Amino acid sequence: MRADRFASEEDKALFRQRRAFRRFCGAAVLESSCSLSVVNFQETENGRPYLSQLADTWFSFSSCRYGFLAAWSSSHGLGVDIETPSENLQTEKIAQQYFSDAEIRTVSMNDSRLQAKTFYQIWCLKEAALKSIGEGLPYGLDEFQFEITPKPRVIDAPIEFGGHKNFSAVMVDGTRQSAALVTRSLG
């Protein structure tokens, strides 16, 4: 029924694929061979998915038109994000709204093709970081600051979640998509 809310058949199919992927991951964690239709995720009020049978296991999912990404952990808060970069996006303008001065400089110092890639790398890290604390975009992309060279690193993070030393960041390479994983120590 939820898939039918989408106007195009392509969007309906993508919604169904995302749900099937999520349920497949849940069944894998549960080590269950039951029908995927009985694997039902619930969500916190901020949208973090969880299985009632494994309330202490953190799950994170993301998708774009060309891929799906998932991660789960019983020892860390975590978040993932995957995006398909678009060179038509006004990256510098959006970066100025949501990125720190250092992140803006990182985006701006590249040619337009690399600007888009760099922008999406930082954007994915920020979205993944918000998921790692169980929050969504309304919490604020500017609450986290990242460096991406020589490797991704959290420079600033909310103190109520342990500050930057409590987080680790990884870029997922190998595709034309930008994808990131951010973990947070729960201890």
Domain boundaries, the chain: 3-75, 80-185
Fill in the amino acid letter for 97: Q
The predicted model gives 86-93 an average pLDDT of 81
Most confident of 4-13, 31-40, 156-165, 171-180: 156-165
pLDDT digits over 95-122, tens only? Answer: 999 999 999 999 998 787 788 889 999 9
Kindly state the tokens that stand for 165.
């030393």
Cβ proximity of 56 and 65 under 8 Å? no
pLDDT digit string (tens) for 36-75?
888 999 999 888 999 999 988 999 999 988 889 999 999 9
Q: Is residue 145 classed as helix, strand or coil in its secondary structure?
A: strand
Distance from chain centroid for Cα 156:
18
DSSP state of 3: G
Give per-residue burial for 92-117: e unless 16+ CB within 10 Å, then b.
Answer: eeebeeebbeebbebbeeeeeeebbb
Give Cα separations from 7 to 21, 73, 83, 92 (angstroms): 21, 35, 22, 32
Furthest C-alpha separation in the chain: 51
Does the model's pTM come out above 0.85?
yes
Cβ contact 130:144 at 8 Å: yes
CATH class of 3-75: alpha beta
CATH superfamily for 80-185 is 4'-phosphopantetheinyl transferase domain (3.90.470.20)
User: What counts of helices (H) and strands (E) characterise the chain?
Assistant: 4, 9
Q: Do domains 3-75 and 80-185 have the same CATH topology?
A: yes
**For residue range 2-26, what is the model confidence (pLDDT) as tens digits?**
777 877 888 888 888 988 999 999 9
